Amino acid sequence: MVTREWIVERVDYWRERLGLRNVAIDIDLHEADILDQPKVGNREVGEITYYPEGERAELRLAAVRSKRVIDQTIVHELCHVLCAELHDEMELMLYELSSQAADLGRQRLDLAQEKLCNRLARAFVP
């Protein structure tokens, strides 16, 4: 069974492995599928908001029974934190483009980041 304590242990484990020990992470568990990414079937499992100025993040997880899915989701979401600085730099470059080109660039950047986070999560938690 997946407990809050187990989730906290896994977040701490992955923070250490991914070099994010300096980022404080608040964990919020939800019963419903109210989140954006990644999805398991039609279930939305996790979402993270990162606040670099305070080196803090809010991790929201939907309740699922599979430890592998939760573990993979934790890694996926923490990979978004790893990508945050690159993402912010790319956003600055997109600011110089026309509105239409910037919108397309943001869509492509977001898709590429999502694919990268998915690949890393599957590599770390097969």
The C-alpha atoms of residue 50 and residue 25 are separated, in whole angstroms, by: 9
Which pTM was predicted? 0.84
The rounded percent of the chain whose pLDDT value lies above 70 is: 90
According to the model, what pLDDT value does residue 57 have? 96
Q: Is the pLDDT of residue 115 over 80?
A: yes
Dump pLDDT digits (tens) for 17-64. 999 999 999 999 887 554 444 455 445 788 999 998 889 999 999 878
Dump pLDDT digits (tens) for 65-96. 789 999 999 999 999 999 988 888 888 888 88
According to the model, what pLDDT value does residue 37 have? 47
Q: Which residue in this structure is represented by tokens 């997946």?
A: 2
Q: Which of 29, 35, 38 is nearest to 11 (CA)?
A: 29
According to the model, what pLDDT value does residue 97 have? 86
According to the model, what pLDDT value does residue 8 have? 95
According to the model, what pLDDT value does residue 64 have? 80
According to the model, what pLDDT value does residue 71 have? 94
Q: Which residues, in sequence order, are CB contacts of 120 under 8 Å at separation 6+? A: 75, 76, 79
According to the model, what pLDDT value does residue 68 have? 92
Q: Which of 8, 1, 15 is nearest to 29 (CA)?
A: 8
The amino acid that residue 39 corresponds to is: K
